[in-house]
Amino acid sequence: MTSTHRSSERGELLKGVPIVALATFLTMSLTFRVVPQFYGTSELPVYPIWPVAGVNMALLFLLGAACWPGILVGSALANLFAFWGEPYAISYTLLSPLGNTMEAWLGVVLLRRT
C-alpha cells in the first residue's frame, strides 16, 4: 500500500463520516417526531419502529464500516436535541449511540461474511 493510496482512503473516510452523521441525525430526528412513543414501565421512550437501524446499516455497507464514528456523533446529537432537559438526557445521550453504532457495524460485518 502506497502513501497515496492511504491518503485517498483517509479522504474517502473524511467524506463518509459527515454523510453518515448527517443521515443518522436527520433520520433519528424524523423518527422522534413521526413514530409514536410507548413508555411501558420506564420513563424512557420505546419506539416500535426504528428506521435509523436500516439507514445506518445501508450507509456503512455502501461507504465502508470505517464510517462508524458518524453514527456515534449523529446519534448523540439527535438524542441530545430530542431529550434536552429530561432527567435521563445525559445517560441516554451517552449510551444509546453505542447501541446504534454497534447494531449497524455488527450487521455489516456479518453481512460481509456471508
Confidence (pTM) = 0.83
The ranges assigned to domains in the chain are 3-113
Helix (H, G, I), strand (E, B) or coil at 64: coil
What are the C-alpha distances in Å from 57 to residues 2, 18, 23, 36, 53?
Answer: 30, 15, 11, 23, 6
| DSSP-derived secondary structure letter, 36 | P
pLDDT at 18 over 90: yes
Residue type at 65 in one-letter notation:
A
- Say if CB 57 and CB 107 are below 8 A apart: yes
Mean pLDDT score, 49-74: 94
pLDDT at 27 over 80: yes
